Amino acid sequence: MVLVFAETIDGQFKKAAFEALTYGKKTAEVLGTECVALTLGNVNDAGQLGTYGASKVYTVDHPHLATFDSQVYASVIAQAAQKLGAGVVIVSHTSTGKSLLGRIAARLNAGSVPAARTVPNFVGDSLRVHKGVFSGKATAEYAIISDVKVISLAGNEIPPEATGSPVSTDSLDVEVPAPKVKVIETNLQQGDTAPLPEAELVVSAGRGMKGPENWGIIEDLAKALGATTACSRPVADAGWRPHHEHVGQTGVAIKPNLYIAIGISGAIQHLAGVNQSKVIVVINKDPEAPFFKAADYGVVGDLFDVVPRLTEAVKKFKAQS
Residues 6+ away with beta carbon under 8 Å from 17: 6, 7, 8, 49, 92
The answer to whether residues 132 and 9 belong to one domain is yes
User: For residue 198, what pLDDT is reported?
Assistant: 83
Confidence of residue 216 (pLDDT cuts 50, 70, 90): very high
Instruction: Please give the residue range of the domain that contains residue 16.
Output: 2-171
Q: Are residues 167 and 205 in the same domain?
A: no
Walk across the sheet containing 201-205 and list its strands: 228-231, 201-205, 258-262, 279-284, 297-300
Same domain, 107 and 202: no
Chain segment 12-59, per-residue pLDDT in tens: 999 999 999 999 999 999 999 999 999 999 999 999 999 999 999 999
Considering the domain architecture, whether residues 10 and 150 belong to the same structural domain is answered as yes
Distance CA 101, CA 110 (A): 10
- Please give the tally of structural domains in the chain: 2
Q: Which of 75-84, 125-134, 183-192 has the highest mean pLDDT?
A: 75-84
Mean pLDDT on 56-64: 97
In a domain, 299, yes or no: yes
157 and 18 in one domain?
Answer: yes
pLDDT-wise least confident of 98-102, 253-257, 315-319 = 253-257
Co-location of 166 and 315 in the same domain: no
Say how far apart CA 221 and CA 224 lie, in whole Å: 5
| pLDDT averaged over every residue in the chain | 94
pLDDT for 122 equals 86
Same domain, 222 and 310: yes
Q: Are 223 and 297 members of one domain?
A: yes
**93 and 211: one domain?**
no
Find the mean pLDDT for residues 86-93: 97
Please report whether residue 257 resides in a domain. yes
- pLDDT for 93 equals 93
Q: Say what the pTM is.
A: 0.84
Same domain, 245 and 109: no
- Give the per-residue pLDDT at 190: 67
Q: Distance between CA 204 and CA 264 in Å, rounded?
A: 8
Based on the domain organization, do 164 and 203 belong to the same domain?
no
